[in-house]
């Protein structure tokens, strides 16, 4: 999938150059910054793939004369740029002990002037999409256009996080970066399990160990917006692979069926 839009190509180069300058200034965090750089590239690819599935690219727009694929793509490109300031200033990627990284991304975009050449309304839309990319829920008062663009970024971001955490499960150094060094104890946090059985997104504050985080990520399916995303989750086996990492416990099979049935139903709704 090749992007031909010259504005996207230019902004991607500027984003990469900014990441490199952060690495030059902060050699202790080269690996962390590379990790987020790679995540961003993959989120952009996921978004491009989803946009194609939704028949949304490159010229199909939700609004007459709109620019929506471009806006969605740029929001993906810059959604985590605040991670660079977060890691170099606070030494962590955990928002709870540092700062909301979506807000840091907005500060960085404004400070560096990356999208100052765009019309004010488009800048405001991109910043709004970025602000909501890491919140537990999207607010109910978004326009249809805002919702679809924000949902595209959230789904693309989650698709990559699922893949990344599964890839890095056995890498202790990366684990510490990703989850702040949670213990891999056998306990299954009851509150999170209960949330999933009720179709609710669990709270990060209820996560007490790695199993809690694994379960919380399984529950993200309740915050997945497009059937096309559901199909990718199913085809890539994210839920099964994540559950395989958990020890056996009462209701494990029931949990697997609950999650798989939910995915199946969401896919069936549109096919
Ligand atoms: Fe993020």
Length of the chain: 271
Q: How many domains does the chain have?
A: 2
Look at residue 96 and tell me if it is in a domain: yes
Which burial class, exposed, middle or buried, applies to 24 when counting CB atoms under 10 A from its CB (0-12, 13-18, 19+)?
exposed
State residue 127's pLDDT score: 98
Q: What is the DSSP letter of 137?
A: S
Give the Å distance between the CA of 24 and the centre of ligand 1: 22
Look at residue 172 and tell me if it is in a domain: no
Same domain, 192 and 238: yes
Please state the pTM of the whole predicted model: 0.89
| Conformational region of residue 143, where left means phi above 0, alpha means psi within -120 to 50, and beta covers everything else | beta
d(CA 75, CA 163): 20
State residue 59's pLDDT score: 52
Give the Å distance between the CA of 79 and the centre of ligand 1: 6
Per-residue pLDDT at 271 exceeds 70: no
Give per-residue pLDDT as tens, 93-149: 989 889 999 999 999 999 999 999 999 999 999 999 999 999 988 999 999 889 999
**CATH code (residue 96):** 1.10.3210
Same domain, 122 and 191: no
Same domain, 41 and 124: yes
Same domain, 62 and 186: no
Q: Which of 242, 92, 261 is nearest to 163 (CA)?
A: 242
Same domain, 150 and 188: no
Same domain, 153 and 24: yes
Range 158-166 average pLDDT: 86
Give the Å distance between the CA of 9 and the centre of ligand 1: 21
d(CA 219, CA 239): 9
The residue segments making up the domain with residue 125 are 6-158
CB 231 within 8 Å of CB 241 = no
Look at residue 169 and tell me if it is in a domain: no
Confidence of residue 166 (pLDDT cuts 50, 70, 90): confident
* Contacts of 151 by beta carbon, 8 Å cutoff, 6+ apart: 138, 225, 226
Same domain, 48 and 132: yes
Same domain, 196 and 146: no
Same domain, 40 and 133: yes
Give the Å distance between the CA of 214 and the centre of ligand 1: 18
Look at residue 171 and tell me if it is in a domain: no
State residue 182's pLDDT score: 78
């Amino acid at each position: 999938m090749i992007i031909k839009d010259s504005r996207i190509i230019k902004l991607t180069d500027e984003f990469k150059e900014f990441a490199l300058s952060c690495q030059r200034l902060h050699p202790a965090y080269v690996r962390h910054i590379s990790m987020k750089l790679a995540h961003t590239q993959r989120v952009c690819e996921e978004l491009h793939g989803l946009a194609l599935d939704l028949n949304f690219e490159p010229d199909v727009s939700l609004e007459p004369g709109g620019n929506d694929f471009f806006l969605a793509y740029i929001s993906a490109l810059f959604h985590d740029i605040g991670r660079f300031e977060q890691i170099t200033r606070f030494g962590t990627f955990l928002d709870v002990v540092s700062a909301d990284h979506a807000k840091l991304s907005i500060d960085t975009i404004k400070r560096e002037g990356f999208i100052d050449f765009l019309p004010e309304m488009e800048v405001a839309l991109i910043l709004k999409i970025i602000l909501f990319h890491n919140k537990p829920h999207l607010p109910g008062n978004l326009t249809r256009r805002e919702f679809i663009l924000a949902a595209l970024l959230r789904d693309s971001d989650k698709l990559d996080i699922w893949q990344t955490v599964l890839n890095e499960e056995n890498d202790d150094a990366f684990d510490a970066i990703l989850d702040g060094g949670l213990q891999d104890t056998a306990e299954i946090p009851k509150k999170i399990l209960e949330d999933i059985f009720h179709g609710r997104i669990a709270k990060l504050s209820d996560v007490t160990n790695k199993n809690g985080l694994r379960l919380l990520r399984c529950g993200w399916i309740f915050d997945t917006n497009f059937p096309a995303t559901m199909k990718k989750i199913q085809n890539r086996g994210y839920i099964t692979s994540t559950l395989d990492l958990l020890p056996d416990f009462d209701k494990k099979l029931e949990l697997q069926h609950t999650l798989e049935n939910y995915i199946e139903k969401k896919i069936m709704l549109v096919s």
